[in-house]
Amino acid sequence: MPSFNQKIWRLIDKIPAGKVSTYKELARAAGSPNAFRAVGNACSANPNAPKTPCHRVVSSGGKIGGYAHGVERKIRLLASEGIRVADGKVTGFEERLFRYRTL
């Protein structure tokens, strides 16, 4: 059985380039809707960044949030995928939001 972190990393791998998801959305998709802080911890512990693209995980409302390799690098990685950031938020957040399907 995969650990919580492994489950989160697998879910993050499903976020396509040019899209973002939220800590809250990932927690919900993992079956632990209140574990958004644990999702942040999983992102911080990601041994495969940026291959496992934790830079695509943002706070609710599109705020950039943190990144283990620095917020400026997160913004550069997002920009390389066509995602613009202004005033610390993803521009066009709702259109960029990736939601996981529920069964």
Per-residue model confidence (pLDDT) at position 101: 84
The answer to whether residue 35 sits within a structural domain is yes
**Catalytic site residue from 20, 54, 57, 90:** 54
The answer to whether residue 101 sits within a structural domain is no
Q: Could you tell me the residue range of the domain that residue 32 belongs to?
A: 4-96
Which residue blocks in the chain are alpha helix, DSSP H?
4-13, 23-29, 36-44, 71-80, 93-96
Residues 68-93: tens digit of each pLDDT: 899 999 999 999 999 999 999 999 99
Q: What is the mean pLDDT of residues 43-65?
A: 95
The answer to whether residue 103 sits within a structural domain is no
Query: pLDDT band at 58, cuts 50/70/90?
Result: very high
The answer to whether residue 48 sits within a structural domain is yes
CATH of the domain at 13: 1.10.10.10
Work out the angle at residue 60's Cα, subtended by the Cα atoms of residues 59 and 65, and round it to the nearest 5 degrees: 15
The answer to whether residue 80 sits within a structural domain is yes
Q: Which residues on neighbouring strands pair with residue 90, listed in sequence order? A: 85
SS3 90: strand
The answer to whether residue 102 sits within a structural domain is no
User: What's the structural domain count of the chain?
Assistant: 1
SS3 64: coil
The residue whose two tokens read 């927690």 is 27
The answer to whether residue 38 sits within a structural domain is yes
Per-residue model confidence (pLDDT) at position 1: 76
The answer to whether residue 86 sits within a structural domain is yes
Per-residue model confidence (pLDDT) at position 19: 98
Question: pTM value?
Answer: 0.94
Per-residue model confidence (pLDDT) at position 103: 46
Active site residue 43: no
The residue whose two tokens read 């550069």 is 76
